[in-house]
Structure 1
């Protein structure tokens, strides 16, 4: 019996051709393909500017830097997220303040943010967890009067919408991931989107050691002017090889999302009415890209959450436990992070599982997953 992975990237002839053409061009590092990908991604996400970087983690780091967040500042983040969301806050010397999340969506809410604001709060990082769009409108209504910067961790969000627009469009600045676990992948890689021209320009310099002239600009002329390095910075560049894959992936994003949403709805239909199981669904004000499909397991279910995971594994189905609670991780034990009432976060971490969902999922694979979940012994 073949193993069913929880996720498989959807790659094909277009990506192979794009990489081959880039190899043949002789330009492999950050260059014209990165610029093409940035322009195409900005247009698709209704963003004024896009800056390609090496990962979503580096995108979050630079977003905080250009927004002026640093030592002595508090940043509200959900604990229900991958650890990088909070780690980026630590990179700039600020203090994470963990907010609880909504049980239905797994996302931080305006009320959740309001409850944990401190006099030192300078920014909020709101996550589109599993591709479910976070309510940026409500969060901005809380943050804007206080001059609190709203950063969207849209790592999982490409193809999701909030109030008819792509997620990320309503944030001051957004960070995106192209890891293979995401539905739009470049292998590794990330993107910053923002309407703030000064922030975008500074992020471009900071991703390339703080240079005043990029390597691509210097290459365009035979004898370039000497560059200078305006501040201590980082090497967070994306390569043209990665960007070539990204351009091809972006061209098929709508088809990928449509297929994933179809499979997600089939899971909901198959599990509808099963005692003790609740499937994640779209919020009222948006649509998810179904980047992750998670199920909450209550006490009335036939098995415990871990019992379902063991049953699925016995059928060679690679499901996953729900999203981690960052505040429980050893790296945050004894830290200065503010940890209050996170009851919903802890409940979802302990009671949810993520089911396999990928573009090329076959009928046999889908039926095997559902059949295992419906079995009571």
Structure 2
């Protein structure tokens, strides 16, 4: 079986987790603090705050901005449902706008029509690791005085060109960026997330809210020679990362440049193998973006049944996934007011499939995927063309 994804975990990660277990400090502690420092340095952010996953990171971002009932947050429906859920969990209303069909990312040209006096933030998703057009997005956000949050769940290691310089996603372009370390991502801690920012006050709020609103962290109380009585200043959450996860994350972070380089090689090989298949649209990077290729998404020719293609590949031992979901089609959001045309989002879900991609994928396995896809599409494309 060729899986859709496979994390690269080895003895180094197992040894790091074992050391954390044997240290006696297994909850949020010194490994988490070290992971935060190293991640911040890697992306070029002044501050990084580790949390339990990216969904909680997004919710903390909104909570720290005091987004709540009656507020609106603009985002893409074409994203994993966690993006929309983080908005609703704060009592706010997600306002869905369409994506650019070339990048599958939120279309900056559609933002102005969605902005109202109740708009508090924009959550832009770097979908499948492909960077959003941050230059255009920040221009709109700044012009309207709205906070830009980057849902960078898939984008660790991706880069964007800003004013002629290549910078990693996570260096503050918007006000906050949120990352995921789920096993489908390029690096993993099993579950886990990270917020980065250049705003010291926001970072302070993240740290307060992630630990029940506690005025003094555990590490300070346990390390003090004086008795400390903590206070609970606000109503917070338990969104902490464990030290075992952080120990694994530190080793994964060391691997990240190599993992991205290998994924880029796999993506380039797919382009060679599939580039001449009539009607199949391959992903492409804008000239100002370098993807980490967290996913490899292809658009099927018109008239082909997505499910049938995927099933036939699965019958040959090749796992795929449908195009990224649209939250507005799911029951929790299906009854919400449909304010904007989302045709490109829906087409992307209905006509795209994600092919297997992971750093340790062999050229033989790639050839097997490409051959199976070509054999599946050729007779169908010919039939569609004949009709």
The 5 A counterparts of 1:152-163 are 152-163=150-161
Q: Deviation per CA, 1:127-168, whole angstroms, max 9, x where unpaired? A: 000000001110110111211000000000001011111113
Match of 1:204 in 2: 207
Match of 1:295 in 2: 298
Q: Which runs of 4+ in 1 moved over 4 A?
A: none
Match of 1:214 in 2: 217
CA contact (8 A) 2:32 2:241 kept: yes
Q: Deviation per CA, 1:66-119, whole angstroms, max 9, x where unpaired? A: 112111111001000000101111111111100100001000122121232122
Quick one: distance in 1 between partners of 2:127 and 2:181? 15
Length, aligned pairs only: 372
Partner SS state of residue 122, structure 2 = strand
The 5 A counterparts of 1:42-191 are 42-163=40-161, 164-169=166-171, 170-191=173-194
Match of 1:314 in 2: 315
Gaps of 5+ in 1: none
> Relative to structure 1, is the Cα distance of residues 331 and 184 closer, same or farther in structure 2, using a 3 angstrom cutoff?
same
Q: Deviation per CA, 1:183-205, whole angstroms, max 9, x where unpaired? A: 11000000010111111001101
Quick one: distance in 2 between partners of 1:122 and 1:363? 47
CA contact (8 A) 2:273 2:367 kept: no
**TM-score if structure 2 supplies the norm length?**
0.94
Q: 1:244 and 2:242 equivalent?
A: no
Quick one: distance in 2 between partners of 1:41 and 1:33? 12
Quick one: distance in 1 between partners of 2:301 and 2:117? 38
Q: 1:359 and 2:362 equivalent?
A: no
Deviation at 1:340, TM superposition (A): 1.6
Match of 1:371 in 2: 371
Deviation at 1:20, TM superposition (A): 1.4
Quick one: distance in 1 between partners of 2:64 and 2:43? 21
Deviation at 1:307, TM superposition (A): 2.8
Larger deviation, residues 159-168 vs 96-105: 159-168
Match of 1:253 in 2: 256
Quick one: distance in 1 between partners of 2:290 and 2:227? 48
Larger deviation, residues 156-165 vs 216-225: 216-225
